[in-house]
């Protein structure tokens, strides 16, 4: 092995009393968390893909929380960096389906029974993301009653205004007249289209120079919803490719359920205005 060059002579090699890269990232804990319940080779793929996706979702929630605070504080420029990062993270999660789709139906059947009733449908971080974007469904909360701490976190998120609720408040601060029914709505309910919000966003898009920050905010929101729908579509097609139209392990209708959620809209006015312009 070659000796280090002069440029590399200061590389640290003595870590007896110093923190290593692995210790900082707690890799021992992370890399020992892939515990197969079968002896099938491809179960490792299944576990890793879902764990990686959950890590990306953790970062999405971190960024959306910060973006919501920045928008509430009136600092839209700061929020743009956070929301743009969310879109980039989403592209990574979408690509994960390409890797999982290398799992064939025959291979998955070798260990599917080991999953019991556990399912991605129960991903609490995915539910937190949906809540943050405004898709509130209370029946989902029953899934998490087993864990009191987690149940509390989800119930609190369920009660909070969504990213879109906060963005609509930014419209009001920008001088637009927004219906009191929207501003004072029950945020635990799914958001419904409102004409005053539609008119405000349409004005923003027709006067980009005047409302540049609000226009950028709108486009960042569209980016996120677009990417989420792409993720949902790739999820649906990957599931169909691997198990066809079987019932999901968690009891959902599987592909049929995933097709239904493709029609859900988080920011309806931002899509409707494209027809009007």
CA angle 118, 226, 160 (to 5 degrees): 65
Does 168 appear as a known binding residue?
Answer: no
Q: Please enumerate, as own/partner, the contacts of 120-128 that have beta carbons within 8 Å and a separation of 24 or more.
A: 120/50, 120/235, 120/250, 121/248, 121/250, 121/252, 121/257, 122/250, 123/54, 123/57, 124/150, 124/153, 124/154, 125/54, 125/57, 125/58, 125/61, 126/57, 127/154, 128/61, 128/153, 128/154, 128/157
CA dihedral 19, 24, 26, 28 (to 10 degrees): -40
Q: Report whether 50 belongs to an annotated binding site.
A: yes
Task: Say if residues 231 and 93 touch (Cβ distance below 8 Å).
Answer: yes
Cα 131 to Cα 90, 116, 145: the distances in Å are 17, 27, 17
Instruction: List the Cα angle 68/91/31 in 5-degree steps.
Output: 95
How many Å apart are CA 77 and CA 68, to the nearest integer? 12
Residue 48 annotated as binding? yes
Q: Which of 170, 160, 198 is nearest to 65 (CA)?
A: 160
Q: Is residue 46 annotated as involved in ligand binding?
A: yes
Asked if residue 249 belongs to a known ligand binding site, the reply is: yes
CB 120 within 8 A of CB 51: no
Q: Is 49 annotated as a binding residue?
A: yes
Q: Is 112 annotated as a binding residue?
A: yes
Rg value, the chain, Cα: 22
What residue numbers does the annotated binding site cover? Answer: 46-50, 108, 112, 235, 249
What residue numbers does the annotated binding site for substrate cover? Answer: 46-50, 108, 112, 249
What residue numbers does the annotated binding site for heme cover? Answer: 235
């Amino acid at each position: 092995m070659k000796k280090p060059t002069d440029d590399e002579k200061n590389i640290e090699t003595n870590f007896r009393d110093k923190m290593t890269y692995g210790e900082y990232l707690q890799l021992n804990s992370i890399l020992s968390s892939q515990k197969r319940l079968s002896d099938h080779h491809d179960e490792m793929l299944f576990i890793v893909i879902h764990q990686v996706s959950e890590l990306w979702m953790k970062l999405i929630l971190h960024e959306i929380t910060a973006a919501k605070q920045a928008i509430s504080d009136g600092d839209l420029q700061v929020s743009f960096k956070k929301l743009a990062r969310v879109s980039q993270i989403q592209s990574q999660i979408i690509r994960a389906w390409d890797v999982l789709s290398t799992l064939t139906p025959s291979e998955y059947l070798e260990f599917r029974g080991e999953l019991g009733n556990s399912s991605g449908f129960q991903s609490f971080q995915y539910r937190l993301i949906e809540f943050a974007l405004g898709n509130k469904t209370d029946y989902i909360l029953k899934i998490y009653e087993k864990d009191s701490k987690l149940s509390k976190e989800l119930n609190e998120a369920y009660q909070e205004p969504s990213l879109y609720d906060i963005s609509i408040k930014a419209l009001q601060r920008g001088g637009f007249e927004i219906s009191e029914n929207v501003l004072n709505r029950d945020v635990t309910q799914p958001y419904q289209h409102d004409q005053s919000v539609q008119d405000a966003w349409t004005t923003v898009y027709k006067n980009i120079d005047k409302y540049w920050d609000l226009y950028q905010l709108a486009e960042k929101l569209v980016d996120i919803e677009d990417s989420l729908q792409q993720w949902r579509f790739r999820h649906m097609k990957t599931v169909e490719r691997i198990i066809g139209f079987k019932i999901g392990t968690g009891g959902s209708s599987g592909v049929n359920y995933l097709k239904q959620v493709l029609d859900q809209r988080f920011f309806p006015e931002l899509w409707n205005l494209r027809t009007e312009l």
